[in-house]
Amino acid sequence: MHPKAFTARYNCDKLVYFEEIEAGEEATVRERKFKKWKGDWKIQLIEDMNPSWSDLSLNWNLDNRTFRANN
């Protein structure tokens, strides 16, 4: 992990928001937009999806999920 990374700087250890996007280019555009938004807007986005700020990764069932290599 790069020491200047956001997650390292702020000790992030929970997944509280995510979006599923099919195309890599579309995901890159969305991430760039997301990084420009103000904190209050991001907090509202999280609270609309996950009002309790639960760690969403705890409910993942990866055993039944199909992954494709070299997508």
Which residue range is the domain that position 2 belongs to?
A: 1-25
Domain tally, the chain:
1
- Is residue 18, in this structure, part of any structural domain at all? yes
- Is residue 41, in this structure, part of any structural domain at all? no
**Taking Cα atoms as reference points, which of 65, 16, 70 lies closest to residue 45?**
16
CA gap 27, 19 in Å, rounded: 9
Q: What is the pLDDT along the chain (71 residues), one digit of tens a residue?
A: 556 787 788 888 898 998 889 999 999 999 999 889 898 999 999 999 999 999 988 877 666 555 444 43
* pLDDT of the residue at 28: 94
- Is residue 63, in this structure, part of any structural domain at all? no
- Is residue 36, in this structure, part of any structural domain at all? no
- Is residue 37, in this structure, part of any structural domain at all? no
* pLDDT of the residue at 69: 45
Whole-structure pTM value? 0.64
- Is residue 68, in this structure, part of any structural domain at all? no
Q: Supply 58's token pair.
A: 């705890």
